[in-house]
A and B are shown apart, each in its own frame.
Chain A
Amino acid sequence: MNEQLITLDGITVRKTGTVLLDSVSLTVARGELVGVIGPNGAGKTTLLNVIAGFERFEGVLSLFGQRETHRRSRETRLRVGYVPQSFPVDPAFPILAWEAVMTGAIGRTGLFRSPGRHRRQEAMALMETMRLSHLAARPLGQLSGGERQKVSLARAIIQRPDILLMDEPTANLDIAVQKEVLDLIDEIHRKEGLTVLFVTHDFTMLPSAMGRAVLLCQGRMLFDGDIDKALSGETLTRLFRYPLETFRRKGRRFISYD
């Protein structure tokens, strides 16, 4: 049996009287790529924030077999990478793309130590592998949304995590760039053997390696299982409370509604 890296047992998150997550239980084994899918306000990002240690919660969370709270040791944080939804960067902010990638390695380097030339070479090599080397010397704030998202992915990868949490990494990107980012995620998952949690509300564009999905609705878990079952018309109709049908064509999933 595969090692369980993430275990959530009865996780509840309340904020200003509202229940954002309601007793969610979930286990994720090493190497899995799990989709967390649901409509807006379903609690997907909150779930990711709990695992990333950004949110206080009730219930039991274990990472790598150790019980955790929202306060984490540096060692645990280093093993959990995080890719946010596209975030705004001031175009004048003093950071180049390769430096942004390097910020992912600062925790690994530790206090009172210089990242040195080898870390820079590591960042450049990673950018080369991810076909981003042409962006290395450009200011991050001047990159397009898609380019910035790929840099963000490289920033998380250089951290060398065991778990990668991705919060709608393809949101607000055009279809061609979404496809590029998804292919990159598939490639990284295959090469690095990472355990990935991929949050999205758009289930028509998913990494092809995604074999399992968790459906959330109003803070509750509605479904946990095979991706094809999760995205069947019947399950999605229950999730969105609207009659939906899905069909596949040339490997892609399409949705039809009245």
Chain B
Amino acid sequence: MIEHLMDVFTYPPIQRAAIACVLCGASCSLLSVFVVLMKMPLIGVSMSHAAFAGAVLGMLIGVNPFLSGFVMCLAAAGALGPLSDRTDLAPENVLGILFSFLMGIAFLGMGILTRTKAGVLNLMWGSLLTLSGCDVTILAVVTGVLVLFVIVFFKEIHAVLFNRRLARASGVPERMIYYALLFLTGAVVSANLATVGGLLIFALLVQPGATALQLTYNMKHFFLISAASGIGACASGLVISYIFDLPSGASVVLMATVIFAMAYIFSPKRRMAKLKKRNGAP
């Protein structure tokens, strides 16, 4: 079995799929820390619908749907921060409004579109085995920028995730960090559309962070556990999908859920909280 798997990995499309899978796991799970700690789970699904709407518009005006999807995703990310800051609306409400607005645009475009809709639908479901070298390169660049951003601005990110207002009061450029995180979310989502697709990114943007939340109080470990669980889910999901001939995206998401369930069951934080409750601590 292992020999057979090794043989399969000699084919370039499979190699590209494997690399893309690891990059997808790493990028989504790093962002997942931000999504979970800022309590913005809707952001993934909103961004993927922005890409979807962009792709439909692209097809309508004759532009590459992946390019127009990418641009729309970045535009939505760029609009989210100022919209929630200037209008006194909670970011999750802005996300809800943005999500439904973009979905409306996407379906309106789908209704007008007379050509085949397969290109657009690919963005929703992804297709690991048809990835081009260019797709993987874009994903690698976006993941690299994200990793660099987390390393360079780690202390600022920690302060902003803890409390935006206090971070601002302490002289941290919180708006720059927050907007950059939103922008990177847009970039990661759109770069990953071709791999796992818009619908499944939602799961990868939430589950690795939720897994880490069960296991540690240390922010550095939090990022590492989140990345490890995201990459683990992607790699194991891909192998399982090959062995049992299952859809790869669904296998990845199910593996992420299994990893989260294990972390929840064996969570030392939950056990500590239970013990404290039993001992009557405040």
Contacts and interface: CB of A to CB of B under 8 A. Distances in A.
A108 B163 CA distance: 17
Contacts, number: 89
Contact of A81 (B169, B273, B282): B169
What secondary structure prevails in chain A residues at the interface with B? mixed
A49 B171 CA distance: 15
Contacts of B165: 54, 82, 84
B213 A107 contact: no
Nearest to A87: B163
A111 B37 contact: no
A108 B155 CA distance: 12
Contacts of A81: 169
B263 to A, nearest CB: 12
B168 A54 contact: yes
B171 A107 contact: yes
A69 interface: no
Interface string A64-107: 00000000001101101110100101111111100110011111
B166 interface: yes
A139 B217 contact: yes
A93 B37 contact: yes
Contacts of A99: 158, 219
Contacts of A105: 170
Contacts of B99: none
Contacts of A84: 165-166
Contacts of B166: 82, 84, 103-104, 155
B131 interface: no
Contacts of B169: 52, 54, 77, 80-82, 156
B216 A106 contact: no
A111 B173 contact: yes
Nearest to A91: B273
B61 interface: no
B170 A103 contact: yes
B39 to A, nearest CB: 8
B222 A74 contact: no
B75 interface: no
B171 A96 contact: no
B269 A92 contact: yes
Given A82-B166, A100-B162, A109-B155, A95 B173 contact: no
A89 B169 CA distance: 18
B153 interface: yes
Given A103-B167, A106-B172, A111-B173, A144 B273 contact: no
Contacts of A15: 88
B170 A94 contact: no
A209 B214 CA distance: 45
A183 B282 CA distance: 23
B96 to A, nearest CB: 21
Nearest to A110: B171
A133 B6 CA distance: 55
Contacts of A104: 166, 170
B156 interface: yes
Interface in B145-162: 152-153, 155-156, 158-159, 162
Interface in A181-200: none
A106 B152 contact: no
Interface in B168-209: 168-173
A241 B37 CA distance: 44
Q: Which of B152, B171, B217, B222: most chain A Cβ within 10 A?
A: B171
Contacts of B155: 106, 109, 114-115
B162 A95 contact: yes
A159 interface: yes
Contacts of A92: 213-214, 217, 269
B159 A103 contact: yes
A112 interface: yes
B218 interface: yes
A94 B152 contact: no
B168 A77 contact: yes
Contacts of B37: 90, 93-94
Nearest to B37: A93
A161 to B, nearest CB: 9
A96 B173 contact: no
A248 B159 CA distance: 43
A80 B153 CA distance: 23
Q: Which of B156, B172, B213: most chain A Cβ within 10 A?
A: B172
Contacts of A139: 217
5 contacts: A74-B171, A89-B162, A93-B37, A144-B282, A155-B166
Interface of A: 15, 52-54, 74-75, 77-78, 80-82, 84, 87, 89-96, 99-100, 103-109, 111-112, 114-115, 139, 142, 144, 155-156, 159
Please list the 7 inter-chain residue pairs (A to B) with the smallest Cβ-Cβ separation, ordered nearest first: A107-B171, A82-B169, A77-B171, A107-B170, A103-B159, A78-B171, A94-B222
